Amino acid sequence: MSNSGQLQFPKTIVPLILAGIIAIIFLSKSTVNIDAGEAGVLWKRFDGGVVIDQPPLGEGFHIVAPWNTVIVYEVRQQELFEKMKVLSSNGLDIILETTAWYMPKPADLGKLHQEKGEDYLETIIKPALRSAARSVVGRYTPEQLYSSKRDIIQSEIFDETKKILDNQYIQLNDVLVRDVTLPSTIKDAIERKLKQEQESLEYEFRLVTAAKEAEKVIIEAEGKAESNRILSASLNDQILRDKGIEATLELAKSPNSKVVIVGSSKDGLPLILGNN
């Protein structure tokens, strides 16, 4: 007889409990949930390893064999901030701060995992960006880096980095040069030089303006002198006498004058005396 104080389970329950435990373990190993902005690379233990001839698993709930594995990757655009020391064309240390926007190519996610691995940011993208930045900055002087060449340098770093990453299953969307830091002595020297150049340009502008004003005055004076010369050449004594007579007659018509002719002037014109 069994001990009445002990709890006895039917023999059929134990196999059911074991089956339930196995089912839970099976389901936990067989289900994968992929969140928004992610994709999954399937690795088959008994069927060739990484699946590269099929699209990666998309967002949502998936059931896979428990002996297989799904490696989840973020496939949205991601940001890399990189601060590095590079050399200018004349060998000076430059601190360059850049931002790169990148993402894995979803269609090639299996190849990326198989050939590069999950740590592709450290092993592929950062070395590519640093190499491109050093190559590009090494072509320019500190003055060019500090002033007019910033946009050109940014574009060249993007082009060279993209050229490297295009064959690495990675899509580079953009590279931004956030800041260029020069040695303080070089920066001060450049700022003084730029200030002197600006002052020189302003002085040259004033000289050009003054020269144009002087030229304008000379042209106006020459025109006036030529006009007087032409007028003087066209006048003679008879014309002057006629003009004087016309002027005298106009004055004689004035209601405020009392005209008295007392003789003639030296030039033969009448003399006019008014009541004033």
The Cα 270–Cα 267 span in angstroms is 9
203 falls within a domain: yes
Question: Which is more confident, 20 or 108?
Answer: 108
Residues 68, 110, single domain; the answer is no
187 falls within a domain: no
**What pLDDT was estimated at residue 93?**
86
**What pLDDT was estimated at residue 216?**
78
Which of 145, 139, 132, 133 is closest to 183 using CA atoms? 145
pLDDT band at 155 (very low <50, low <70, confident <90, very high): very high
Q: What is the mean pLDDT of residues 38-56?
A: 87
5 falls within a domain: no
Most confident of 107-111, 149-153, 179-183, 235-239: 107-111
**What pLDDT was estimated at residue 146?**
73
pLDDT band at 239 (very low <50, low <70, confident <90, very high): low
Please state the domain count of the chain: 4
State pLDDT tens for residues 102-154.
999 999 999 999 999 999 999 999 999 999 999 999 998 887 877 767 788 99
Residues 82, 42, single domain; the answer is no
Question: Which is more confident, 246 or 63?
Answer: 63
Flag the least confident range among 99-113, 167-181, 188-202: 188-202
Most confident of 34-43, 97-106, 190-199: 97-106
Residues 58, 147, single domain; the answer is no
CA 132, distance to chain mean position in Å, is 19
8 falls within a domain: no
Within 145-203, strands assigned E span: 170-181
Q: Is the pLDDT of residue 184 over 50?
A: yes
6 falls within a domain: no
The tokens for 9 are 């389970």
Q: Is the pLDDT of residue 270 over 90?
A: no
In degrees rounded to 5, what are phi and psi of residue 263? 155, -155
Residues 177, 96, single domain; the answer is yes
**What pLDDT was estimated at residue 260?**
47
Residues 155, 87, single domain; the answer is yes
Residues 177, 209, single domain; the answer is no
Within 2-123, strands assigned E span: 31-34, 38-44, 49-50, 60-63, 69-74, 78-87, 93-104
118 falls within a domain: yes
pLDDT band at 209 (very low <50, low <70, confident <90, very high): confident
Residues 217, 129, single domain; the answer is no
Residues 128, 166, single domain; the answer is yes
Residues 92, 178, single domain; the answer is yes
Which of 41, 45, 69, 68 is closest to 57 using CA atoms? 41
Q: What is the mean pLDDT of residues 217-244?
A: 70
Most confident of 17-26, 89-98, 230-239: 89-98
Which of 75, 254, 98 is closest to 176 using CA atoms? 98
Distance separating the N- and C-terminal Cα atoms of the chain:
165
User: Which range marks the domain in which residue 252 is found?
Assistant: 243-276
Sequence-distant (6+) residues with CB within 8 A of 215 are none
**143 and 196 in contact (C-beta within 8 Å)?**
no
Residues 93, 112, single domain; the answer is yes
Flag the least confident range among 99-103, 161-165, 244-248: 244-248
Residue 116 φ/ψ region, left for φ over 0, alpha for ψ in the -120 to 50 degree band, beta for the rest = alpha
Residues 225, 258, single domain; the answer is no
Question: Which is more confident, 269 or 133?
Answer: 133
209 falls within a domain: yes
Q: Is the pTM of this model over 0.75?
A: no
Instruction: Mark which of 37, 57, 74 sits at the end of a domain.
Output: 74
The Cα 96–Cα 114 span in angstroms is 33
43 falls within a domain: yes
Residues 136, 104, single domain; the answer is yes
Mean pLDDT of the chain: 78
Strand-pair partners of 104: 170
